[in-house]
Amino acid sequence: MVSDSPFLLAGVSLLSALQMGYLARRVGWARMAHKVLPPSVSGPPEFERTFRAHQNCVEFYPLFLVTMWTCGMFFGEVTAAVGGLVYMIARHIYFNGYVKSSKKRLPGFYLTLAVFALLSLLAFIGVLRGILHKYFHIHL
């Protein structure tokens, strides 16, 4: 371990993994509250919304890790870590909104997309600058 390691990215990644574990737990609690026994995933609307809210978080989690780490390694670590924290807040709003109604999932979802757009853009700038430097000796 070198002292220059990306501790902030690692820390936010760990926190986000904990959040994902917590959201999985919420699905387990919804199973109990609505008496939906595994392996069934059908039940009252509130259970199905909780289940889909978690699935959507699962679907996007690897995309989040890729964009945050690429942005953090090749553009700026603090920017990416802050973006990661905002993503976690967006997912929290999304999940809690979706549990209440399908429509209330939207504000959190749009914030999620905004974070993705920003992290991806900055990551692309960083990677492109790196490729131009390494392979074409163009220094921006």
By the rule CB under 8 A, 14 interacts with its own copies: yes
Name which of 8 and 86 has its Cβ closer to its own copies.
8
By the rule CB under 8 A, 59 interacts with its own copies: yes
Containing 25, the helix (H) or strand (E) segment is helix 7-33
Output the CA–CA distances (angstroms, integers) from residue 131 to 9, 31, 56, 137, 138, in the order listed.
22, 49, 33, 9, 9
Burial class (CB in 10 A: 0-12, 13-18, 19+), 6: middle
**Could you give the count of Cα atoms lying within 13 Å of 4 in the half-sphere of its Cβ?**
1
Residue 83 beta carbon to its own copies: minimum distance, rounded to whole angstroms:
14
**Residues 7, 44, 107, 138: which binds its own copies (CB under 8 A)?**
7
Which parts of this chain interact with its own copies (CB under 8 A)?
A: 1, 3-5, 7-8, 10-11, 13-14, 16-18, 20-21, 24, 37-41, 45, 48-49, 51-54, 58-63, 65-67, 70, 73-74, 98, 102, 105, 116, 120, 123-124, 126-128, 130-131, 133-134
